[in-house]
Amino acid sequence: MSTYLPEYHPEQETEATARPLTYRFEPKDYVFRSITRSGGIIVLVVMAMVGIFLASNGISAINEVGLWKFLTTQNWAPESNDFGIAAVLWGTVQIALVALLVAMPLSLGTSLFITEVARGWVQRTLTSLIDLLAAVPSVVFGLWGAYMLQPNIVDFSKWISVWFGWIPMFQVEGVDPASPLRDTVPFTASTFIAGLVVAMMIVPIQTSIMTESFRRAPIGEREGAFALGATRWGMIRTVVLPFGQGGIIGGTMLGLGRALGETIAIYLIISPVFEIKFHILEKGANSIAAMIALKYSESNEFAMSALMAAGFALFIVTMLVNFTASAIIARSRSGAESEG
């Protein structure tokens, strides 16, 4: 037995060039690829068709008033050619933001509780309850909001407006805070209440995405933090939250996308107004989706085209939000190992 010394002359010119690599698919792989690819293509085609359908039907209404007027008019009266999405788009965004402001901390807290504090049956039960919440139909949320939440929350609305009315957003006109009568009607059917109900509807999606991203925070880093004498909150702050950042942002954005498109629950709660309002506690709110549901049955062909145009605007906004969300989720470190 002896070893070998290969002949190697570094000073010689090398003849090596990279060779092209080709390969043949297995038939099974080929079938699999075709099926999955066509699935993906179908989804894209459907999406495109929805967009094209809305755009082509809405274009005649937009042409009638011009794009600028369509974007800036607050009224909605297609019969007199005076319509635009300014008020409803504003209302949509406002309700969604209220929902987000309430749902975000709630989801963050719930998912941290599920992943970092609860154990055993509590953890399992809570996880499935959240999933169950996602399965509740939105009309049920709407009824609950209108008949259960609203009568109980208006006093809270009033309390906010009495104490924080100096902030313009919380002002409610035509209410005398000194009056001893329990006059809560001006506080019903508001952006705030609609936002609260929508918040309940987006908590599940936000919570499950955040939970998923926190769960994947590497055990090695968690133990590393604890081994340095970290408190639990210290560990969460240095390991779990940075790791779950993408999940937090992405989940929040997905919830926002859902909140923007929510229809029936808002429809059941608000009393529609066609003006840009800043007073979120005050009676009267609106959203694109709720308006379409409201006006749909009484529309002639042209009014229908106007609604399609409004729908197209909503479609664009939600697409943008959702694409941003998935881009953030995909780019986050979640799922990628911390290997260097």
Q: How far is the CB of 126 from another protein (least distance, A)?
A: 10
Residue 214 touches another protein, criterion: CB under 8 A: no
Does residue 285 sit in helix, strand or coil? strand
Element holding 242 (H helix, E strand) = helix 241-261
Q: How many residues does the chain have?
A: 340
Task: Candidates 112-120, 181-189, 190-198, 313-321: pick the segment binding another protein (CB under 8 A).
Answer: 112-120
Residue 48 touches another protein, criterion: CB under 8 A: no
Residue 20 touches another protein, criterion: CB under 8 A: no
Residue choice 59, 133, 230, 264 for contact with another protein (CB under 8 A) = 230
Rank residues 5 and 219 by Cβ distance to another protein and give the closer one.
219
Cα separation, 103 vs 204, whole angstroms: 9
Query: How distant, in Å, are the alpha carbons of 111, 278, 305 from that of 238?
Result: 17, 38, 53
Rank residues 123 and 171 by Cβ distance to another protein and give the closer one.
123
Question: What residues from 119 to 158 belong to the interface with another protein (CB under 8 A)?
Answer: 119-123
Rank residues 112 and 200 by Cβ distance to another protein and give the closer one.
112
Residues 262-301, one symbol each (x = binds another protein by CB under 8 A, - = not), give: ----------------------------------------
Residue 215 touches another protein, criterion: CB under 8 A: no
Residue 220 touches another protein, criterion: CB under 8 A: yes
Residue choice 116, 149, 212, 264 for contact with another protein (CB under 8 A) = 116
Which sign, positive or negative, has the C-alpha torsion 152, 155, 157, 159? negative
Element holding 323 (H helix, E strand) = helix 301-331
Torsion of CA 314, 104, 280, 270, to 10 degrees: 60
User: Helices (DSSP H) in 9-85: which residue ranges?
Assistant: 27-65, 67-72
Helix 301-331 vs helix 86-112: angle between axes, to the nearest 10 degrees? 30
Residue choice 7, 152, 227, 298 for contact with another protein (CB under 8 A) = 227
Residue with tokens 């919570």: 207
* Contact (CB, 8 A) for 72 and 169: no
Residue 224 touches another protein, criterion: CB under 8 A: yes
Question: What residues from 236 to 255 belong to the interface with another protein (CB under 8 A)?
Answer: 238-239, 242-243
* Contact (CB, 8 A) for 142 and 268: yes
* Contact (CB, 8 A) for 182 and 122: no
Closest by CA to 265, choosing from 174, 166, 144, 111, is: 144
Rank residues 115 and 161 by Cβ distance to another protein and give the closer one.
115
Residue 218 touches another protein, criterion: CB under 8 A: yes
Number of chain positions touching another protein (CB under 8 A) = 31
Residue 333 touches another protein, criterion: CB under 8 A: yes
Binding site for another protein (CB under 8 A): 116-123, 218, 220-221, 223-235, 238-239, 242-243, 333, 338, 340
